[in-house]
Amino acid sequence: MVPNNWPDYADIVVLLILWIYFQVRDQKTTSRDECFSHQRWGLREVIVFVTILRATELFVLHPLGTLTSDPQLHGLVRLGVWVVASLYSLVGVWAFFFYVRQPLYVVGFSGKQSIPLMLLGIQLVSCYLALLWLGASFMTPDDASQKFSAYGNLNYHSWSNQNEALVSAGLFFIQSFWMSGVTSIGEEIGYVGLLYGALRRYVTYLPAILITATCFMAAHGSFHLSALVLGLAGTWFLEKYHSLVPAIVIHFCFDLSRHTDGWFLGVLKMPMTAYFQTAAMIAGLAAVTAFGIFSYVCKGNGGIQGS
């Protein structure tokens, strides 16, 4: 979402208020948790990092969005523009960790126990999507279209009409996979990993989880229930397992599902009720499958080690 009015900057405002509040009170708590006590950044660095990312959205991604809105623009050009543009968050993450001179694993971005943690994330987001799609199957067409087809506005409508369906679908989903992956990694490290680690210097885990999830939701520009719920889940996983893997998987799957909704509802114009019911069944099956594999993996490895 491109910032265009003051509520879109609510996350930065909240972070500034918190930073001033903690500075005035000189409130600090020594965390016994080694994962968070060794991090070399605070709220000030997080505010600078988030501000740079939001400024990049405004001054780089917004003009690029205008450029790619041309219906005559070739799909390959559109794909290339968004593939390059989406790297901005990863460049920002790299610059931040270069500045603080710490490796990524300090924020929970490591391969340790990644497979079972990935399966945990798939379980949760699949259950959530199954419920979301099932509830959407009872919506009116206008309400469902407004809530679920927005990601289809990637200007593939006219281009897909001029080319083979397989080619246009391939370009669309390559773009969707790439953007969902890069966005989930960049935002989870920035809005969850860095922020949560900074907050744990001042407050205990519960208020830190609530504040982090609220700021994550505010970064989306409005009251977004899904962003709040999934932000709470991802941050809880970070506290419990010291890993961002579940949060990244949850974010990736949710964003990709919105792109999928946009393709089938916004571009292909599929019947909404049939689509939502089918999608809910697939998500439910994915949750059951992930749970089965997770149980098998954990049984062989002795479970997941928490905090």
DSSP one-letter string for 117-178: HHHHHHHHHHHHHHHHHHHHTTS-HHHHHHHHSGGGTTT-HHHHHHS-HHHHHHHHHHHHHH
Angle at 131 between CA 174 and CA 258, to 5 degrees: 20
Sign of CA dihedral 64, 66, 67, 71: positive
Nearest to 191 by CA among 152, 148, 230: 230
**For the residues 162-168, what does the mean pLDDT come to?**
66
**The whole model's pTM is what?**
0.88
Residue 264 and residue 275 in contact, taking contact as beta carbons nearer than 8 Å: yes
Residue 209 and residue 239 in contact, taking contact as beta carbons nearer than 8 Å: yes
Write b or e for each residue in 40-55: b if 16 or more Cβ atoms lie within 10 A of its Cβ, otherwise e. ebbbebbbebbeebbe
Q: What is the pLDDT of residues 185-199, one digit of tens each?
A: 988 998 889 999 889
Between 168 and 6, the more confident residue is 168
pLDDT for 4 equals: 47
Weakest mean pLDDT among 104-108, 115-119, 235-239: 104-108
Q: How far is CA 76 from the centre of its chain?
A: 25
Which residue is it, tokens 């949850």?
Answer: 250
> In this structure, what token pair is assigned to residue 279?
């999608």
Q: pLDDT band at 2, cuts 50/70/90?
A: very low
Domain ranges of the chain: 6-301
Query: Which are the contacts of 154, defined by CB distance < 8 A and separation ≥ 6?
Result: 68, 78, 172, 175, 259, 262
Residue 30 clears pLDDT 60, i.e. is over it: no
Q: What is the pLDDT of residues 61-113, one digit of tens each?
A: 777 777 776 766 666 777 787 788 778 888 888 889 999 899 888 888 877 78
Q: pLDDT band at 217, cuts 50/70/90?
A: confident
C-alpha 84/C-alpha 72 separation (Å) is 20
How far, in Å, are 65, 72, 110 from residue 163 at the CA level?
Answer: 22, 12, 41
Q: What is the pLDDT of the chain when averaged over all its residues? A: 82
Between 87 and 301, the more confident residue is 87
C-alpha 275/C-alpha 283 separation (Å) is 12
Beta-carbon count within 10 A of 220 CB: 18
What percent of the chain is predicted at pLDDT more than 70? 81
Nearest to 52 by CA among 211, 238, 194: 194
C-alpha 22/C-alpha 202 separation (Å) is 7
Weakest mean pLDDT among 224-238, 260-274, 277-291: 260-274
pLDDT for 251 equals: 95
C-alpha 138/C-alpha 148 separation (Å) is 13
C-alpha 186/C-alpha 248 separation (Å) is 9
**For the residues 144-168, what does the mean pLDDT come to?**
61
> In this structure, what token pair is assigned to residue 102?
């710490």
Between 112 and 32, the more confident residue is 112
pLDDT for 3 equals: 41
C-alpha 107/C-alpha 207 separation (Å) is 19
**For the residues 18-45, what does the mean pLDDT come to?**
76
Between 223 and 248, the more confident residue is 248
The one-character DSSP state at 107 is G
Weakest mean pLDDT among 48-52, 62-66, 137-141, 156-160: 156-160
Between 2 and 10, the more confident residue is 10
